[in-house]
Chains A and B, each alone.
Chain A
Amino acid sequence: MQGIRFARKEPDKNSVLKTIENEEIKQWFFQTFEDFTPAQKFALYYISKGNNVLITSPTGSGKTLSAFLFSIDHLLSLAKTNQLEDRIYVVYISPLKALNNDIQRNLETPLREISQLTPFASKIRVAVRTSDTPADVKSRMLKKPPHVLITTPESIAIALNAPKFSEKLLGVKWIIVDEIHALAENKRGVHLALSLERLVSRMKEEPVRIGLSATIHPLEDVAKFLVGFEAPEKKIPRNCTIVDVNFAKKMDIKVLSPVSDFIYTPSELLSKKLYSMVHDHIQKHRTTLVFTNTRSATERVVFHLKHEMGNGVSENFDEEIGAHHSSLSRDVRLEVEEGLKNGKYRAVVSSTSLELGIDIGYIDLVLLLGSPKSATRGVQRIGRSGHKLHDVSKGRIIVLDRDDLVECAVLAKYARERKLERVKIPRNCLDVLAQHIVGMSLEKKWDVREGYNLVRKAMPYNELSFEDFTSVLRYLSGNRYLEDQRVYGKIWYDGNEFGRRGKMTRAIYYMNSGTIPDEVAIRVFTEDERRFIGKLEEEFVERLTPGDIFVLGGKTYEFRKLWNMKAFVIPQPTKKPTVPAWFSEMLPLQYDLASHIAEFRHWMRQILKKPKREAVNQIGRYLNIDPSTANAIYTYFNEQAKYARVPAKNELLIEEFLDEDGLYCYVFHSLIGRRANDAISRAVAHAVATRKRGTVRVSVNDNGFMLTLEEKLAKEDFTTIFRENLEVLVKQAIGNTEMFKRRFRHVAVRSFLILRKYGEHTKSVHYQQYDAHILAGLLQQRFPDFPVIKETYREIMEDSMDIENALKYWNAVGDGKIKITLLNLPMPSPFAFNIVAASVSDIVLMADRKEYIMGLHKKLMELLGSETNGVPA
């Protein structure tokens, strides 16, 4: 049977029982569990039929076991009849290394228990293979391969090119991909999709693919991502049965505000109220999981809970609060996960790291501090509570300001209705493709068409053009591009066939494959005592000029100098920051949720015309929030309406005011998500800088963006700009930025253009970036179609920005379907407050560099001339 379909009717227990051959397994199962969960019934039934299956279900539905159960039963039958061979039958792939250990336990415990019923079960071997696995363990694995291999996307790609070990993979019957929702939307997933196709192409019989996912939408796309295409040119996917049992779990979601008035409550009081609210909830529940959006916020919350809230809960409150985020060492994280399972903690605070499906035991409340930025993420986070399937998941979102309040109230409405955002799977990533082509060339000699067809079976490459495919081949073989600046060829390619070249290529592949880039961090020290304060991102430091005041770890510092990747500063506790804070690790608001908020704003325009009591009632009913929260929303909108205006759905409100330095500020209330705003803001800034021949500062936020410049703009400037070509403007705007060079580094490293490791050498990130600076400039000038340059633009515009939705909005404004209102105000409106406070995302210089330098020079000479009364020479 071909194609993707949904499993509708739950199979009855008898037909499920029939799928299990061994009595001992049934016996063990019913000793341990009361009954099959719906997820297990569906999974066993369809896996036993040999179907590919995508299972999405909440925590506590036994989906991990359901993926394994059928294969264990099969392996046990083989063991009993002495047919169990020394090869791998099951591959389990997970994005988390720590999770592998967890699974090993969850798999080994059942096997041990079943062994007590039948000694044959002890013959089934399970092993973990990741980049941390020591070489001697790997070589033992070769002699005596495990029957079940637990691994990561990166390790499976390397295993594919291990000449002997890869042979052990050729008889695999089941491939399980866990946490597929965390893989589908990034390049790790793209990388895995190609690995699977490469593996399958070498196998005689296609294995059964089993995907496990948390809540995600649309499932059809994720299913295609899991199974790939049978006939890529006709776009016929392999068969897949989607099992969606998410509906079984009820959710109780509420939005809470710690104060009734965000504007007039002093910030100390606000934070006190917030922590006491968090504290109250922890006290009333057994185990609470608290999510923040950033690592630093996680630290701050843990600090406050431990030091200010310790009294009254228990004597050991200090030890009953844990922190879990990705900057913590693996050991610390494992300890916290263990502690959670053992019920050691009253509360654990996490950024995004506990979103993934580590088995975290009993959680009866999930608290979200601030918006999770998408309904999907909200559902995933809140779904971590309520251990048993039929428990209700309980989630409380505590909001931190008025925009947050509106956003979360709207988000909760759509989360309850399960109206989720669409996941976006990256397409045609040429850097990941380059890695795999090098890997493929190590295997054998390929006919170009054969290679192209294989690649297109992976869903992220189904629409890859033949030209792009061959351009990567030409780049890797060193042909045509960079003739005098020769890039050493890594493959051999003659136009019809490609294959291996050079002795170093295998080592290059092993040492450099993977998709996660090295990050550059600048360490910050005080200038006098050289005391370490913390880390900043390179791109932030890049923009600082000595004398600038900025915030780090909640304190203000004056930037003095950057030296040897270290920044030196003087503490300036009383000074006001001159450079806005940097929130690059914050989650971006998703387009769909942003559109819902824009619709809510539109709806509110009518509501505001009604008497206050009625209006508040209607808001409360519409969003399912309590009267005081509804009142806060009413007040916020009412202020906005009185002072400025609440934009309608088909209106782009731009407000103009002067800042303290006398610069003109333009705030665009474009509710299209931060990633789409990122694209539009840079395009407008570039167009303005070109027209007005000046520098434009861009700040982007979830709810809109702001441009700052020295000249006044008119409405006609905007209407004509929106009629220009967005993609052309964005390309021009980003081509010469630091951001482009940084992204180029990531892409160039992934494409093996810049090597992290070569022979004995390991290249520091610093040098990687240095190479990227030189290469990006050269290539853009000489070979604008170079695949690594092309991929850098694609990654920025499609993955980092949301060019698709930006384009829809841009054209609607250009066509006049969305009308521009330009409002001149003495001060920013309430809706603009957070946009004004947003971090600077780019500085766009005028395109004419010569004129720019001349202008600066002229100003400098004038300034000094007027100060010294001297006449410049």
Chain B
Amino acid sequence: MGFQHEIEISDGVFLTEYRGVFLSHLSICVISDLHIGLESELLGLDMNAHIQEMEERIRKLIGRYKPEVFVINGDFKHTFSGNVKEEWRGVPRILGNLADSVETWIVRGNHDNFLLSIASVENVKFAESFEIQNFVFVHGHREVRFVPGKIYVLGHEHPAIKLSDRVGGYVKMPVFLWRDSRFLLLPAFSPWTYGHDLAEGDVLLPSLGYADYLEAEVVGCTEYGLLKLPRLKEILSAGRL
């Protein structure tokens, strides 16, 4: 046990070191929260190292799993009020490569205003949510009615945890949360978002409560691979290590 390339958290549900999930029975890859255009907040700078990194991880996901469908589960882009030039450039760049090789579905997130005008590429489908067999892909910023028996794949939260040592050091990492075949919460795919520390005790998703998180199993993402962690409540109860 240690750093792993992938973890099969449930039958056919593979969490991967590229911060994306592969559902082998459906041949679907899913990622969430790319926030392209975030760099426009960097006034006077034009940076795209995060786009390069995300492009690379998408390439590796497709290369390793060869999915038939690729799902972007919301917050593909960042700016609410329109499309900034970084989005005009970045969205087609990512999407162009993607749609060339695989059927792409885009779930609408709360940041995805005006996305259609920059993302109309062939081979791409848009929807508020997609449902296939027992999986539901939805961003999660709005109320979701959970139907028993279905597994909800969610984003929006940017979940992360901190592990602290006794002396006072800590490491913070984005995480996947998996709850008993009920929901799978994805980490933000963007390397530049602040993760939301789950120890803070609040939940951004309107349909879930903190108790749901506490019971969830946690898998951490690091630059060295995935780390299988216990349930969130157990991590928190352990305190400083």
What CA separation (Å) do A331 and B49 show in the bound complex?
47
Please determine whether A857 and B239 come into contact, CB atoms closer than 8 angstroms: no
The smallest beta-carbon distance between B205 and chain A, in angstroms, is 15
Which residues from A are CB-within-8-Å of B170? 543, 545, 843
Which residues from B are CB-within-8-Å of A204? none
Assess whether B118 is interfacial by the CB under 8 Å rule. no
Assess whether A312 is interfacial by the CB under 8 Å rule. no
Partner of A863, one of B46, B168, B224, B238: B238
The smallest beta-carbon distance between B52 and chain A, in angstroms, is 8
Please determine whether A710 and B44 come into contact, CB atoms closer than 8 angstroms: no
Please determine whether B230 and A860 come into contact, CB atoms closer than 8 angstroms: yes
Which residues from A are CB-within-8-Å of B44? 487-488, 508, 752, 754-755, 758
Which residues from A are CB-within-8-Å of B185? none
Q: With CB as the reference atom, state the residue of chain A lying closest to B47.
A: A485
Q: With CB as the reference atom, state the residue of chain B lying closest to A547.
A: B239
Given the interface pairs A695-B168, A697-B168, A754-B43, the reply to whether A545 lies near B192 with Cβ below 8 Å is no
The smallest beta-carbon distance between B220 and chain A, in angstroms, is 8
Within A667-684, which residues are at the interface with B (CB < 8 Å)? none
Which residues from B are CB-within-8-Å of A752? 44
What CA separation (Å) do A770 and B161 show in the bound complex?
19
Given the interface pairs A545-B170, A708-B167, the reply to whether A864 lies near B240 with Cβ below 8 Å is no
Please determine whether A860 and B168 come into contact, CB atoms closer than 8 angstroms: no
Please determine whether B46 and A563 come into contact, CB atoms closer than 8 angstroms: no
Assess whether A859 is interfacial by the CB under 8 Å rule. yes
Within A757-804, which residues are at the interface with B (CB < 8 Å)? 758, 761, 763, 767, 770-771, 774-775, 778
Please determine whether A758 and B43 come into contact, CB atoms closer than 8 angstroms: yes
Count contacts on A: residues with CB < 8 A to the other chain: 55
Please determine whether B167 and A545 come into contact, CB atoms closer than 8 angstroms: no
Please determine whether A767 and B168 come into contact, CB atoms closer than 8 angstroms: no
Please determine whether A856 and B42 come into contact, CB atoms closer than 8 angstroms: no
What CA separation (Å) do A303 and B164 show in the bound complex?
39
Partner of B47, one of A694, A778, A849: A778
The smallest beta-carbon distance between A185 and chain B, in angstroms, is 31
Assess whether A132 is interfacial by the CB under 8 Å rule. no
Within A811-846, which residues are at the interface with B (CB < 8 Å)? 840, 843-845
Assess whether B48 is interfacial by the CB under 8 Å rule. yes
Which residues from A are CB-within-8-Å of B197? 561-562
Q: With CB as the reference atom, state the residue of chain B lying closest to A546.
A: B199
Assess whether B206 is interfacial by the CB under 8 Å rule. no
Assess whether A484 is interfacial by the CB under 8 Å rule. yes
Please determine whether A853 and B222 come into contact, CB atoms closer than 8 angstroms: yes
Please determine whether A484 and B48 come into contact, CB atoms closer than 8 angstroms: yes
Assess whether A367 is interfacial by the CB under 8 Å rule. no
Assess whether A560 is interfacial by the CB under 8 Å rule. yes
Which residues from A are CB-within-8-Å of B167? 663, 694-697, 708-710, 843
Which residues from B are CB-within-8-Å of A485? 45-49
Q: With CB as the reference atom, state the residue of chain B lying closest to A579.
A: B168
Please determine whether B201 and A774 come into contact, CB atoms closer than 8 angstroms: no
What CA separation (Å) do A488 and B173 show in the bound complex?
32
Assess whether B143 is interfacial by the CB under 8 Å rule. no
Which residues from B are CB-within-8-Å of A694? 167
Within A460-498, which residues are at the interface with B (CB < 8 Å)? 484-488
The smallest beta-carbon distance between A69 and chain B, in angstroms, is 47
Please determine whether A873 and B47 come into contact, CB atoms closer than 8 angstroms: no
Given the interface pairs A663-B167, A694-B167, A860-B163, the reply to whether A872 lies near B46 with Cβ below 8 Å is no
What CA separation (Å) do A60 and B185 show in the bound complex?
71
Which residues from A are CB-within-8-Å of B164? 545
The smallest beta-carbon distance between B11 and chain A, in angstroms, is 16
Which residues from B are CB-within-8-Å of A120? none
Q: With CB as the reference atom, state the residue of chain B lying closest to A707.
A: B167
What CA separation (Å) do A761 and B201 show in the bound complex?
33
Which residues from A are CB-within-8-Å of B48? 484-485
What CA separation (Å) do A695 and B192 show in the bound complex?
26
Please determine whether B166 and A710 come into contact, CB atoms closer than 8 angstroms: yes
**Binary CB contact string for chain B from 214 to 241 against chain A (1 if under 8 A, 0 otherwise):** 0000000010100111100011101111
Assess whether B63 is interfacial by the CB under 8 Å rule. no
Which residues from A are CB-within-8-Å of B192? 774
Please determine whether A695 and B42 come into contact, CB atoms closer than 8 angstroms: no
Please determine whether A860 and B47 come into contact, CB atoms closer than 8 angstroms: no
Q: With CB as the reference atom, state the residue of chain A lying closest to B46.
A: A486
Partner of B43, one of A661, A663, A755: A755
Please determine whether A546 and B200 come into contact, CB atoms closer than 8 angstroms: yes
Please determine whether A561 and B201 come into contact, CB atoms closer than 8 angstroms: yes
Which residues from A are CB-within-8-Å of B239? 545, 547
Count contacts on B: residues with CB < 8 A to the other chain: 44
Assess whether A850 is interfacial by the CB under 8 Å rule. yes
Please determine whether B166 and A856 come into contact, CB atoms closer than 8 angstroms: no
The smallest beta-carbon distance between A486 and chain B, in angstroms, is 5
Which residues from A are CB-within-8-Å of B116? none
Partner of A845, one of B43, B166, B169, B235: B169
The smallest beta-carbon distance between B157 and chain A, in angstroms, is 13
Q: With CB as the reference atom, state the residue of chain B lying closest to A757.
A: B43
Please determine whether A545 and B240 come into contact, CB atoms closer than 8 angstroms: yes
Please determine whether B238 and A775 come into contact, CB atoms closer than 8 angstroms: no
Which residues from B are CB-within-8-Å of A853? 163, 171, 173, 222, 224, 227
Please determine whether B171 and A849 come into contact, CB atoms closer than 8 angstroms: yes
Assess whether A162 is interfacial by the CB under 8 Å rule. no
Please determine whether B166 and A663 come into contact, CB atoms closer than 8 angstroms: yes
What CA separation (Å) do A26 and B235 show in the bound complex?
82
What CA separation (Å) do A852 and B199 show in the bound complex?
21
Within A737-754, which residues are at the interface with B (CB < 8 Å)? 752-754
Assess whether B1 is interfacial by the CB under 8 Å rule. yes
Assess whether A861 is interfacial by the CB under 8 Å rule. yes
Which residues from A are CB-within-8-Å of B227? 853, 857
Please determine whether A854 and B2 come into contact, CB atoms closer than 8 angstroms: yes
Q: With CB as the reference atom, state the residue of chain A lying closest to B39.
A: A774
Assess whether B165 is interfacial by the CB under 8 Å rule. yes
What CA separation (Å) do A800 and B238 show in the bound complex?
37
What CA separation (Å) do A868 and B222 show in the bound complex?
26
Please determine whether A774 and B47 come into contact, CB atoms closer than 8 angstroms: yes
Within B1-35, which residues are at the interface with A (CB < 8 Å)? 1-3
Within A612-655, which residues are at the interface with B (CB < 8 Å)? none
Given the interface pairs A545-B199, A560-B201, the reply to whether A856 lies near B165 with Cβ below 8 Å is yes
Which residues from A are CB-within-8-Å of B194? 770
The smallest beta-carbon distance between A842 and chain B, in angstroms, is 9
Given the interface pairs A853-B227, A856-B163, A863-B238, the reply to whether A761 lies near B168 with Cβ below 8 Å is no
The smallest beta-carbon distance between B29 and chain A, in angstroms, is 25
Please determine whether A561 and B199 come into contact, CB atoms closer than 8 angstroms: yes
Q: With CB as the reference atom, state the residue of chain B lying closest to A752.
A: B44
Which residues from B are CB-within-8-Å of A859? 165, 241
Please determine whether A864 and B241 come into contact, CB atoms closer than 8 angstroms: no
Q: With CB as the reference atom, state the residue of chain B lying closest to A849.
A: B171
The smallest beta-carbon distance between B36 and chain A, in angstroms, is 15
Please determine whether A850 and B168 come into contact, CB atoms closer than 8 angstroms: no
Within A696-745, which residues are at the interface with B (CB < 8 Å)? 696-697, 708-710
Q: With CB as the reference atom, state the residue of chain B lying closest to A562.
A: B200
Which residues from A are CB-within-8-Å of B230? 860-861, 864, 872
Which residues from A are CB-within-8-Å of B199? 545-546, 561
Q: Can you list 9 A-B pairs with a CB-CB distance of less than 8 A?
A: A485-B49, A545-B239, A695-B168, A697-B168, A752-B44, A758-B43, A775-B42, A845-B171, A852-B169
Could you tell me which B residues sit within 8 Å of A by CB distance? Answer: 1-3, 41-49, 52, 162-171, 173, 192, 194, 197, 199-202, 222, 224, 227-230, 234-236, 238-241
Could you tell me which A residues sit within 8 Å of B by CB distance? Answer: 484-488, 508, 543, 545-547, 560-563, 661, 663, 694-697, 708-710, 752-755, 758, 761, 763, 767, 770-771, 774-775, 778, 840, 843-845, 849-850, 852-854, 856-857, 859-861, 863-864, 868, 872-873
Given contacts A770-B194, A854-B2, 19 further A-B pairs with CB under 8 A are A484-B49, A485-B47, A488-B44, A488-B45, A488-B46, A545-B162, A546-B200, A560-B201, A695-B167, A695-B168, A710-B166, A753-B45, A767-B41, A770-B41, A775-B45, A845-B169, A856-B241, A857-B229, A864-B234
Query: 4 shortest A-B CB distances, which residue pairs?
Result: A561-B200, A695-B169, A695-B167, A758-B43
